[in-house]
Amino acid sequence: MPAGPCARIPAGQSGFIREILDRVGDKWTLLVIATLQRGVRRYSDLQNTVPGISQRMLTLTLRQLVQDGLVTRTAYAEVPPRVEYALTPLGISLLDIVGSLIDWASAHHDEIREHRTRFGQATTKPTSATS
């Protein structure tokens, strides 16, 4: 039997790799990275472009991306203050993967919704009406 992808993970690194995959695969990170592929963006641009993201979640997501070296944060000493975010070379290296995941989700969202609906109907117990 061929070894799966987990067999390639060096001993002692599985926890950290799982943490990275959790972060990159969370609800907002892929959308923020995809938005930043279009170039440098200000915070307000990101907030207006990423649908449904709250200010708190955008701040947290950007902070984590900066911490992991995927995004740069440049603050300018101006009034009013200006802060810009951009992908680093490490962040750019994720673009093909991010694009593929977004394309896959877009191509299959109707099919997945249909399966979820059928699953919900199959697991819902019918209620008997009492007269």
Report all structural domains of the chain as residue ranges with CATH numbers, in order of start: 12-122 (1.10.10.10)
What average pLDDT does the segment 106-125 reach?
A: 85
Scan for tokens 């990423």, then name that residue: 50
Total-model pTM: 0.75
Q: How confident is the model at residue 76 (pLDDT cuts 50, 70, 90)?
A: very high
Residue 43 near residue 85, CB atoms below 8 Å: yes
Maximum average pLDDT range among 1-15, 52-66, 109-123:
52-66
User: What would the pLDDT profile of 9-21 be if each residue is shown by its tens digit?
Assistant: 777 777 888 888 8
Determine the pLDDT at residue 131.
46
Higher-pLDDT residue of 34 and 62 is 62
Two structure tokens written together for 114:
């249909």
**Residue whose C-alpha is closest to residue 33's, from 83, 82, 102:** 102
pLDDT of 129 strictly over 70: no
Q: How many CA within 13 A on the CB side of residue 45?
A: 13
Higher-pLDDT residue of 105 and 59 is 59
What burial class does residue 64 get, using C-beta atoms within 10 Å of its C-beta: 0-12 exposed, 13-18 middle, 19+ buried?
Answer: middle
pLDDT of 8 strictly over 80: no
Paired strand residues for 76 = 82
